[in-house]
Amino acid sequence: TPYQTLLADTYAIRGFEFAAPATQVFGIAPLLLPGSQLSVLFTGLKAAGETPSTQAAVAIFDNVRPIGQVGQARFINGSPASGPVDVYVLPVGTSGIIGQLPIARSVTLGVATAYLQYEPGNYTVSVATAGTTNVVVADNLSLTPGSAFPLRTRDAPGGGTPLGVVVEDDLD
């Protein structure tokens, strides 16, 4: 959803399942500071009467400002099925991740990296099982001057694999 304008304060953010009775499935209480931007990420499937093995609700402070000459990107592990992952952002056409350095190592569920700056261009984002060269999902990203994109892994519909990558726009 789009960002909502709120006064600086501590807010209770809770999620409830649709089934009756409405049971709370997550709750967090982040402190919003003046001028801050916050995204709430909830992961884990829960059908009525079912308890998933992994759920996470996390407040991720965005606080991104556009930088005119470069693009920015960060990674968020939103996939319970993935386990910890290493993340690579390489120019399109790079021949795989072997011998390359990841931008982040062992990113666990609900963790967001810092924004990193990249020259405008086309990149391949590859997500590998931590400590291996086993790529579990890859997608392309086009960065333009002043852009800011969080990249988030997600489970397949219904949970599990194959994983997907969701590219969002943090300046919307």
- Per-residue pLDDT tens for 61-105? 775 666 788 888 889 898 888 899 999 999 999 989 999 999 999
Residue 136: CB atoms within 10 A of its CB come to 18
User: What is the per-residue pLDDT across 20-67, written as a single tens digit (0 to 9) for each?
Assistant: 777 777 777 877 777 777 777 777 655 545 555 556 677 777 756 667
Judge contact between 41 and 55, C-beta under 8 A: no
Minimal CA–CA distance to 161: which of 124, 141, 140, 135? 135
Pairwise CA distance, residues 59 & 31, whole Å: 10
pLDDT at 85: 96
> What's the pTM value of the predicted model, to 2 decimals?
0.77
| Distances in whole angstroms, Cα of residue 63 to Cα of each of 8, 23, 39, 148 | 14, 32, 10, 11
> Distance between alpha carbon 68 and the CA centroid of its chain, in Å?
23
Residue 67 is predicted with a pLDDT of 76
Q: Are 26 and 43 in contact (CB under 8 A)?
A: no
Contacts of residue 144, Cβ cutoff 8 Å, sequence gap at least 6: 71, 120
